[in-house]
Structure 1
């Protein structure tokens, strides 16, 4: 599949280089204890097998196995020099047959060390052979073979500035442009006959009658985009899963989307969509122009990103849409767990500058003009307008009628804001797909800091405000007990603003699991101007299920988590206080009128001493694909909009 450098990135992240002299190294996206580390002495059992010669060097032959065969560890052999240095001459690593890692049937890693002419001891050969399978009886199995030879060593001192801010590895910017002649010159071992035939094998497949149609459907399903030509598509059609959806405002919604690729221009990229809702009979659209200062292979989001983007969009949006990390028109997330009828028509123009560095630091500067017009059951009405409405109703004796669209409502609001954000994630790696870029090395800590400033009167902006937000993420590994992901966030709205500009929780309103969101908080259920959230999840990687008969054969993995939200609304932004009864800035919180004309709020003020808490218990790796979680809401259940529990799921494959 033509997915940019997706395959290369995945293989490099999954089948990483192994340094047995590290106490712990990352392999198959899991941490393993080295058999020659201090931790390995406790993790493995060792057996002295024999004394043998390996290439004229006398060695002790040791074999080793994990104390528990289902823990993440290797079996294998060590050949250690029988002299005072006890150096490793050769190391053979295998995955135990009963390991809990998905898809891997067999794994052999063979490393050989030797002495250089200069006297240094170094790794010279590093070979790996891996047998992968899924539904083996139907699809068979697949071999991944990697042969690595090290040569031309140099130990001259290198200037520190050479690697400064570039990490431990420097890549040739033209590495992807090299031809076969270049690689043949530096390859230490010739390709096998079968490896040389791979390109012709792929060509032969494409000539099979009907095969290209099968590939077309598969690529559309997996990549979510359709190429307009092969192999060098200049325009891709998609995302496919956004073409037919529905929502409260649009009813049936049809959408056509497309994006250009580097095959058209490696620096200039265009993207956009046109959508039509048959219920409101309105057109929605988005157009985006992005200029990349670096030459790209396929898409502008390829790491590291350095670009300037202009976007113009008009569409209906949920206030919570900004928290989901997929397209708002994704057909799988369009099915909501509750009735969602409070939307905005949003018209936005954005200029954004992004600069990423190789060492994981990203800077984003943005200027945005936005106009928000409420639609559906959402309306804007200032507290002064609410007082005028109540006086009007009393004078006309019209109590009980629905006044949602009364002349006392505010038709729309406009903001003009500038923001700057910093993100630091040392060691982070990505997968580039045709739709988005996904982080795959979740071991990297992530630190973010953002400030947004808006000024009244600038570009027609109605309000002045400042918003500051910060977050920290870190993954902790506990050897065979799995990993804990912890994420802490906090933010402050410093100024007096109406409710659309307050801070609302990151609510997930669909049945599909979305990272960094709350599963049982409804749309705008809580509105704050100060908040802090904590998300802690523990994936035990089957530590308990592996010790239960029958269950251990299923390779299910346990998952538990807790999410907490502390929030408060200061007096200056609280429309329920008597002092703000006639305020001309603050707005009446969202809600609905019932059949009797009584207004019932759907947005609430949190108790600053009572955090919202929801807990999760789940089973992952069902059929090696499905993750199912049960979510329970522990408090604020007295609110009429509260859902006490729910089931969420997603499709995700991991080793």
Structure 2
């Protein structure tokens, strides 16, 4: 994320401490509940409407309701069968909460008995499922439409304490944009807004979707990669899918083929919706703490297509940091015969504390409008010729305000209009830079200093057996220095070995889309051979404190590397590199090599390697920062192949060898019983080499669990020249604990994991060098299993 908006986002987050704030919005927002006056029990399915209008809603199973209306009446009415009507006066243009207490009607009706062979709600549900394939908008050979998309991020739980904080005296102008949500009554402040207009193309065979973002507008961002996420492909919801994926979890859709096993359905009424007769149903989960929704669905009375859905995640659904997920979908008939999604709206309430009205959090909102549909009209072949799924049209950021005024499907409200200017105003306040620099230091670990960043701070102080106390000072250039070239490096000093060490390098971004860069690095420092790249670095302050055994198996590495990264298309890339290294033994270790007659000690192992890495990740999504690109994952397997050739007699290198490593990994949902992740890897080395060049099984000598290492294995414990390994983890997300009453409230979730490795070593490599006394070859499989 660009540093300026990243800092604004965190700046608002860190400052929120916490009272209600009153909205100045023009829309009238109402939340409330309908209860029995005598028993105070909720009255489900009560009708709540504005007097002398046709605007209204139905209360849910728990009697609660919410409304967000532009029309105005000064009286809100609630009615329910068997009760007298209730009346409440309301005020225009503000958020308010109301409670209706209805008294039982004295008018009695004659008893009427109605018999049905099946629950009417289930009859409608079955018809909806029977007609799913005909009504699902995705089932066309070719499908094309226009998309207007709007994304907003809001800091919520804004309060008077925060507004009166002395650090906020210079920023009082931002509070004029505070509003209140009808999802849960939280006050919020918009901090980010994006808009886009796209053209989307879908093909059934082979199944492909392409989006061309014609125009985009983003508050405060100067980043091409961000524009990709302003379109619609990253947030689509299809009510006809059996599962709706949110936060990598499978929620059972109320229109799922097996919805009856997860939901109870109730027919409320028949209504006219967009000039179409519809059955109005409500649904709720059958069981507690499952990944389900509660809400309403409107089904067309003749085609049995879904006409509208309003739903929220079940209040007891167990999701990390997510308090609410609210989804609204509207469908309409296009070309007189095809049901299509015409509008959708998604709201996420993200907070570290469950259902907190005080602790700061964020709303993430997305609203989309779909129009100009084309069915079974084949687009030009060029649309599907590129392997990328999202294309930014040339000049997509260059459109005027007039264009946006004419191309918005829904006008911006007062607060949305203010976001664009508010971001610029906040950045222009001088003290803002000081605040954001401190936040950036605490979160990213770097201190901003003009064109440079000093850090990372967590590597500044550490300890290991060879160096004793170690201090390190490093830094890197930022985009103020160059938007293409980054320089980086550090110097370190160990007080026991009294040696200065360090590293330095540079890389240059040739292109950002597709991603291509060239770079070079130099290093003279201690290194833990066999340690995974995802593990804690050796000079990390935290890892120094949390070691379960001394870190005394390092080597001193001196070398340089030059490399070139080339992305061929989204998801497929290759990297070619040349690496020249010298490895010196430290801490009493020796490198002893068989010279044909005896073992001879050598001062260093010298290698020259040429490597090729290829990676394929189908439909992988990325976020592009100023220099680095971060993967947002894919639901498909990721494949990697690493090929390395050790070149003999080049720069004093002696050994000739060839190394092959293949890896595949994937994270995927398993129906509604949780999600799994696996990593499978095989490797082999051809040639005769000293033991540091063999395949060292990844150990872990810290108390921090490393999912890609063997946590009970020490460094250098097992060495092979061929191996196969597997890592598997499954998260049940409370599948068992959620059904045990005394455990349900703890929100515990079950997880199991298993990892193992099998390998061996040839006699030539076993006897070519003398292994450390603590190193072995794998004579049988090694495995670890765990549950929690």
Q: Do they fold alike, i.e. is TM over 0.5?
A: yes
1:26 corresponding residue in structure 2: 245
1:134 corresponding residue in structure 2: 352
Q: Does 1:280 align with 2:497?
A: yes
- Residues 1:101 and 1:13: Cα distance change in structure 2 (over 3 Å): farther
- Residues 1:483 and 1:177: Cα distance change in structure 2 (over 3 Å): farther
Q: Does 1:220 align with 2:441?
A: yes
- Residues 1:488 and 1:107: Cα distance change in structure 2 (over 3 Å): closer
Matches within 5 A, 1:187-336: 187-198=408-419, 201=422, 213-229=434-450, 234-295=451-512, 304-335=514-545, 336=547
Asked if the contact 2:532/2:708 (under 8 Å) is kept, the reply is: no
Measure the CA separation in 2 of the matches of 1:466 and 1:478.
39
Asked if the contact 2:2/2:626 (under 8 Å) is kept, the reply is: no
- Residues 1:330 and 1:496: Cα distance change in structure 2 (over 3 Å): same
Measure the CA separation in 2 of the matches of 1:497 and 1:101.
50
- Residues 1:427 and 1:409: Cα distance change in structure 2 (over 3 Å): same
Q: 1:342 aligns with which of 547, 553, 563?
A: 553
Measure the CA separation in 2 of the matches of 1:243 and 1:459.
34
Q: Deviations over 1:86-116 (max 9, x none)?
A: 2221111211111112333333211112233
Q: Deviations over 1:209-235 (max 9, x none)?
A: 977555433321212223224xxxx43
Q: Does 1:59 align with 2:278?
A: yes
Asked if the contact 2:663/2:682 (under 8 Å) is kept, the reply is: yes
- Residues 1:88 and 1:13: Cα distance change in structure 2 (over 3 Å): closer
- Residues 1:224 and 1:185: Cα distance change in structure 2 (over 3 Å): farther
- Residues 1:605 and 1:143: Cα distance change in structure 2 (over 3 Å): closer
Measure the CA separation in 1 of the matches of 2:649 and 2:416.
66
Q: Does 1:169 align with 2:361?
A: no
Asked if the contact 1:13/1:28 (under 8 Å) is kept, the reply is: no
1:574 corresponding residue in structure 2: 766
Asked if the contact 1:4/1:433 (under 8 Å) is kept, the reply is: no
Matches within 5 A, 1:149-160: 149-155=369-375, 156-160=377-381
Single out whichever of 549-558 and 425-434 deviates more from structure 2. 425-434
Asked if the contact 1:78/1:88 (under 8 Å) is kept, the reply is: yes
Measure the CA separation in 2 of the matches of 1:378 and 1:434.
42
Structure 2 residue matching 1:603: 3-state secondary structure: coil
Asked if the contact 2:618/2:634 (under 8 Å) is kept, the reply is: no
Measure the CA separation in 2 of the matches of 1:186 and 1:606.
66
Asked if the contact 1:380/1:409 (under 8 Å) is kept, the reply is: yes
1:319: how far off?
1.0
Structure 2 residue matching 1:309: 3-state secondary structure: strand
Measure the CA separation in 1 of the matches of 2:691 and 2:508.
35
Measure the CA separation in 1 of the matches of 2:670 and 2:731.
10
- Residues 1:338 and 1:170: Cα distance change in structure 2 (over 3 Å): same
1:29: how far off?
2.5
Number of aligned positions between the proteins: 565
Q: Does 1:121 align with 2:121?
A: no
Structure 2 residue matching 1:313: 3-state secondary structure: strand
Measure the CA separation in 1 of the matches of 2:411 and 2:758.
62
Between structures 1 and 2, the one with greater strand share: 2
Single out whichever of 421-430 and 12-21 deviates more from structure 2. 12-21
Measure the CA separation in 1 of the matches of 2:491 and 2:361.
43
1:16 corresponding residue in structure 2: 235
Q: 1:144 aligns with which of 348, 351, 364?
A: 364
**Highest CA radius of gyration, 1 or 2?**
2
If the length of structure 2 is used for normalisation, what is the TM-score? 0.66
Structure 2 residue matching 1:18: 3-state secondary structure: coil
Structure 2 residue matching 1:221: 3-state secondary structure: helix
1:356 corresponding residue in structure 2: 567
2:290 corresponding residue in structure 1: 71
Asked if the contact 1:323/1:517 (under 8 Å) is kept, the reply is: no
Asked if the contact 1:65/1:76 (under 8 Å) is kept, the reply is: yes
Q: Does 1:615 align with 2:778?
A: no
Measure the CA separation in 1 of the matches of 2:754 and 2:263.
34
Asked if the contact 1:443/1:474 (under 8 Å) is kept, the reply is: yes
- Residues 1:57 and 1:207: Cα distance change in structure 2 (over 3 Å): same
Structure 2 residue matching 1:222: 3-state secondary structure: helix
Q: Deviations over 1:178-225 (max 9, x none)?
A: 676665553322222222333555567678897755543332121222
Structure 1 residue matching 2:541: 3-state secondary structure: coil
1:471 corresponding residue in structure 2: 663
Q: 1:496 aligns with which of 674, 684, 688?
A: 688
- Residues 1:175 and 1:515: Cα distance change in structure 2 (over 3 Å): farther
Q: 2:731 aligns with which of 539, 542, 561?
A: 539
Measure the CA separation in 2 of the matches of 1:433 and 1:225.
15
Structure 1 residue matching 2:548: 3-state secondary structure: coil
Measure the CA separation in 1 of the matches of 2:233 and 2:288.
21
Q: Does 1:516 align with 2:708?
A: yes
Structure 1 unaligned runs (5+)? 296-302, 389-407, 576-585, 591-600, 619-655
1:94 corresponding residue in structure 2: 312
Structure 1 residue matching 2:687: 3-state secondary structure: coil
Matches within 5 A, 1:420-439: 420-431=612-623, 438-439=630-631
